[in-house]
Each structure stands twice: as C-alpha cells, then as structure tokens.
Amino acid sequence: MESLLTGLRAAAEPTRLRLLALCGHAELTVSELTQILGQSQPRVSRHLKLLCDAGLLDRHREGTWAFYRAASSGEGAPLARTLIDSIPSDDATLTRDLGRLESVKRSRAEAAADYFRVNAGRWNEIRSLHVPEEDVEHALLGLIEEMEISDLLDVGTGTGRILQLLGAKVERGIGVDLSREMMSVARSALEEAGLSNCQIRLGDMYNLPIDDASMNVVTLHQVLHFADVPADVLAESARVLEPGGRLIAIDFAPHALETLREDHAHRRLGFSDDEVAGWYSAAGLELQAPVRLEGDPLTVVLWPGVRMTPEEQKRQKSAA
C-alpha cells in the first residue's frame, strides 16, 4: 500500500501529471520536456526525479543525455498507465502539450532529414569512418549463407548497400527509405549493379508499405540508432516477416561518442544485448546468438532473430 500512496502523492501535482502524460506518449529528454511545458530546466528536473523515485517513470542515461518514459515494469508501472489513461482525451492542457510534443517530433525528423539530404552522396564514406564495413558484411553473409531467400526487405536502405550485397541471392529485394535523396543514390547503385530484381520504395520505418508476413528476411543496417522508439521499429519489421523468417538488426553496442549525436543525428548511443532481447521478445522474435565485432571506440553487433509462430509466442509467454 505504501508504494501506491507514494505514487499517488508524486502524481498529485499539475506539472508532474503533465510530465507523466507526455512520457506516456514518447521517450523524451529534459530539454524537450522543458520546451513543451515552458518551465525552467531545474524545476522540470526536480519533478522528474520525484516521478522516478516513485516508480512512475523510467530514466535511461546515454552519455550526457537522459531519456524519460512511463515505467514499463516494476510496482509503479500499472499505476502510471492507469493515471495516464484516466486523463480525459479532450483535456485542454493535455491537448496543448501533445500539440507541442508533435512539434518536437517534427523538429527531430527535420534535423535527421537535413542531415541525410546533406550527406546522401557521401553516406558510405561517413559510415566507413566508424565501422569496418567489410567485416560487417562478411558477418551478415555468414548469418544467411545457408538460407534460401525469396523476399528480402532492407529497412532504412540508405544507399542500397545491403541490396547490392544480397541482391544476387534473392528472388525479390525491396529497400525502404524516407529520404528521397538517399533513394536516388540507391536506385542509381542498383541500376549500375544490374539488380533488376530489387526495387526502392518511399516509406516510413514505423509504417512500412509492406504486407503482413510477406518477407522471409528483414535487415536493419545502422537504422535503430536514428529511431525515437526502436522497439516500435522492430515490431513493425517483425509484422512483415513470415513465421520462421529471419530479422537481422545491425547497430552499435553502447558507447559514449557524443559527436555521433551532435554531428550525425544519432538518437541513441548504441544498444545492449539485454535491451534488444526485450524488444525482440515483445515483437514475437526469438533472439539468437549476437555476433560482436569489437572496435575501438565503436563495437558493431549483429542481432539475428527468428519470427515465432503464434503458438510459440504463447508458449514463451506461459514460460515467462
């Protein structure tokens, strides 16, 4: 009962309830919350600390940034969700806050789009500064060498490099990207490689223009660190996989290179195996043994997963 009372006391203040509601809709930093609420950063930080101490919010630190979201586990998680759901959807203050939240999200998207537009022509060059690309490609080929791939989807295809690498091995390859500049680069590369079985589509990684269970391999190469909500990207990618299909996410292990965030629009500074495992499980994927390519200062990890059948997902939930 004491934890319930602590949570209720923490939420029983207008600014803290607004913060809780916002963090129930998105993962946000202190500066973003300050911008939305129009209050000072010290005040917002104090309120956030009280909500975290009460178990209503989760705090995740990455380098000099900290991200806040509604608690997803622990004693405070059910209360947090109940309180968020109890706020009337037509509440004037909430409506105003959510409108400002959408502005924050648009600013994020515009910053990323500007970066991609400026760097589309030299994207592979920028990647090579941080990742031993030939090692990554060799590891990826090793994960799928025994597979017969009919339909391949590369999410956030960028220059189309993954399609170039795997195109000769597949019956049909589709690359999806939201940057028209990147799409132009990718199409030119595929035409030059003679890969007429591969195509590029305009699409959002959160809302893929692909039918359910229509792909047997999905790749996400250096995509998740740009995502506001990586778990949602993985869930959407899993949606298009047929049961038994393979998803391979390739990204950085946790690191502290703030320059990637400041200069290259990275939203996240890498991911831990446990974090990815939780997202895979929630998306109906069984994580297999990750492949780590140690680097200094950046380590690249390939996380292969298999799409479980509905029956396998039920058994997994029962065993949990």
179-188 confidence digits (pLDDT tens): 877 887 888 8
> What domains, with CATH codes, occur in the chain?
2-87 (1.10.10.10), 123-319 (3.40.50.150)
β-pairing verdict for 215-221 and 149-155 = parallel
Distance CA 137, CA 159 (A): 15
C-alpha 262/C-alpha 259 separation (Å) is 5
Q: Read off the tokens for 273.
A: 């195996």
**CA–CA distance, 290 with 301 (Å, rounded to integer):** 7
List, in sequence order, the alpha helices (H) in 60-197: 76-86, 92-119, 123-128, 133-144, 161-166, 180-193
Question: Residue 265: CB partners within 8 Å, gap ≥ 6?
Answer: 111, 112, 115, 116, 226
Q: Cα(116)–Cα(67) distance, rounded to whole angstroms?
A: 24
CA distance 109 to 289: 33
- Distance spanning both ends of the chain, measured CA to CA: 26
Q: Is the pTM of this model over 0.85?
A: no
Pairing mode, strands 300-307 and 285-287: antiparallel
Task: Tell me if 182 sits within 8 A of 116, measured CB to CB.
Answer: yes
Closest CA to 83 of 28, 14, 34: 14
CB count in 10 Å sphere of residue 9: 12
Ranges 39-43, 239-243, 257-261: which has the least confidence: 257-261
Pick the more confident residue, 235 or 127: 235
**Residue 237: CB partners within 8 Å, gap ≥ 6?**
153, 155, 205, 208, 218, 220, 247, 283
DSSP state of 224: G
| DSSP structural state of residue 22 | H
Q: Tokens 């996410």, residue?
A: 249
Is residue 130 very low, low, confident or very high in pLDDT (cuts 50, 70, 90)?
low
- Contact between 29 and 68 under an 8 Å Cβ cutoff? The reply is yes
- Over 70: is that where the pLDDT of 319 sits? yes
pLDDT at residue 296 tops 90: no
